[in-house]
Amino acid sequence: MLLNCVAYREGKKLADVEIEQISDYLLQPGCFVWVALRDATPAELDTMREEFDLHPLALEDARNGHQRPKIEEYGESLFAVVQTLDWSDDNITVGELDIFVGRNFILSIRNRSNRALLGVRDRCEREPEMLRQGAGFVLYALMDAVVDQYFPFIDHVESELEAIEETIFNKGSARSNIERLYEVKRKSLLLKHAVTPLMEAVGKLTSGRVPPVCANSRDYFRDVYDHLTRINATLDGVRDTIGTAIQVSLSSVAIDQSEVGKRLAAWAGIFAVATAFAGIWGMNFKVMPELEWAYGYPLALTSIFTACSVLYYRFRRMGWL
């Protein structure tokens, strides 16, 4: 679906353009065309290929989707893939933003994402001196907008982790905490898979040989790289915290099991003594002094009760009961 198709010259909006007019505006000096699509159909991609002369390998990646974040150079043009994350409660959708960048055009295709990027166009149009740099600055603005959307996701993950840490030593919460920790780990890994390869790709636009289309915006890409580095470092910290929390939870489970084992052993010891006494007086001997004694039965019960009470007291003092 076509969202926008606009021509710009010298950093200012020239006109809203029909698809059929793109070629005409591309021929005008100092003019570039910015097209935004959402969930593009094969027919729309074919039209864009004809209008912008897109590289077939890059177009194939855009058709197939589900690409790893990357930036690839094809002659004088670039093809960039940036992953987007949409979340609602515990449902997370990984989307994709495919960007074709040329000397006088930029084509962005948003797939499987409900997060609008209309604010990027408004921002660029409010800064004509920046937009005058051409398609390279628009590429920066699109990538910066997507990376900025990662920060609320990071805050969400950290808030969940803090909530789990507050209950990690509560009795009987180990199992649920471990399940929640693995859910937080899954979410952080989704963002990690989006950030790490993109950080490597953007690094190529900040130092060394920079593609000509991005040469004037090198400093801005360095800002995106900075943000990605911060997010990556935060994710490493989150991963370490999750690992520690899981170990603590498992240790709590082991401690709880040890406590249960102590209680069972203590009660087994007490009943073993009672069983021993009962076994002695229950032996079938014909000559047994206590059998004919009038106070034998009360004495047997008293002995059993006294022995069990002493054991119970000792176990209580040891913390086993």
Return the domain boundaries, the chain. Answer: 1-129, 256-318
**Helix, strand, coil content of the chain in percent (nearest 5):** 60, 20, 20
117 Cβ partners below 8 Å, 6+ apart? 36, 97, 108, 110, 142, 145, 146
Tokens of 201: 């790709």
Instruction: Please give the C-alpha separations between residue 277 and each of 254, 264, 270, 271, 301, in angstroms, as whole numbers.
Output: 35, 20, 11, 10, 9
Give me the CATH topology for the region 1-129: Beta Polymerase; domain 2 (3.30.460)
* Tens-place pLDDT, residues 254-274: 777 777 777 777 888 878 877
E strand or H helix at 99, and its extent? strand 91-102
Total residues belonging to the chain: 321
Please determine whether the domains at 1-129 and 256-318 fall in the same fold group of CATH: no
- The answer to whether residue 66 scores a pLDDT higher than 90 is no
Percent of the chain with pLDDT over 70: 93
What is the pLDDT confidence band of residue 288, given thresholds at 50, 70 and 90?
low
pTM for the model stands at 0.79
Span 17-25, average pLDDT: 89
Cβ atoms of 55 and 73 within 8 Å: the answer is no
Tokens of 46: 């074919």
- How does DSSP assign 121-132, residue by residue? HHHHHH-HHHHT
Percent of the chain with pLDDT over 90: 40
Give me the CATH topology for the region 256-318: Methane Monooxygenase Hydroxylase; Chain G, domain 1 (1.20.58)
Residue 247 CA, chain-centre distance (Å), reads: 20
- The answer to whether residue 293 scores a pLDDT higher than 90 is no
